[in-house]
Structure 1
Amino acid sequence: MNTIFVQIKCELGRAYEVAAELADEFDNASQIYSTSGHWDLLVQFRLEDGQDPGLFVNERLHAVQGIKDTYTIMVFDAFTPGAV
């Protein structure tokens, strides 16, 4: 399982609508946060091994109405405090 974080810029006034659709339609959206600043949402997606993150974002995520822009962050290792 691979994890990506996607920052999402929504059309004005549609952040909560987009967040609700992501929660309903994407089983792999493990965390959805509203944020302040340039981006409206921060979403953690868990992708199956071998699933292409670029295709996922471009074909599935960009198809959601109300999403204006995205910024994808690829992560590699998780560290547990005190275990390093």
Structure 2
Amino acid sequence: MQTIFVMVKCALGEAYSVADAAVQNVEKVSEVYSISGQYDLLMKCYLDDDQDIGHFVNEQIQRLPNVKDTFTMITFKAFS
């Protein structure tokens, strides 16, 4: 299992609808947070080890209605 974080910039006034669409329609999205700064949302996603990150972001996140831009962070190790 690999964990990625995707920051999402939304169309003005659409952050809540994008967050709802991601939670309801994208199985691999585990959590969505509203954030401040250049991006509106932070999505935590758990992907299978053999799943292509680029294809997932392109086909599942960037194609959600009202998504304008994304920035993906790939994780290596979780410390607890």
Q: TM-score range by the shorter chain?
A: over 0.9
TM-score by structure 2 length? Answer: 0.96
The aligned counterpart of 1:36 is 36
Task: Please state whether the residue corresponding to 1:20 is helix, strand or coil.
Answer: helix
Tell me if the contact between 2:26 and 2:60 (Cα under 8 Å) persists in the aligned partners.
no
Q: Distance in 1 between matches of 2:43 and 2:63?
A: 16
The aligned counterpart of 1:78 is 78
Could you tell me how far 1:76 is from its partner in structure 2? 0.7
Identity %: 46
Within a 5 Å distance, the mapping from 1:12-51 to structure 2 comes to 12-51=12-51
Question: Greater CA deviation, 6-15 or 28-37?
Answer: 28-37
Q: Distance in 2 between matches of 1:10 and 1:52?
A: 24
Structure 1 segments unaligned to the other structure (5+ residues): none
Q: Post-superposition, which runs of at least 4 consecutive aligned residues in structure 1 deviate over 6 A?
A: none
Aligned residues: 80
The aligned counterpart of 2:69 is 69
Q: Distance in 2 between matches of 1:62 and 1:48?
A: 19
Higher Cα Rg, which structure: 1
TM-score by structure 1 length? Answer: 0.91
| CA RMSD between the two structures | 0.7
Could you tell me how far 1:61 is from its partner in structure 2? 1.3
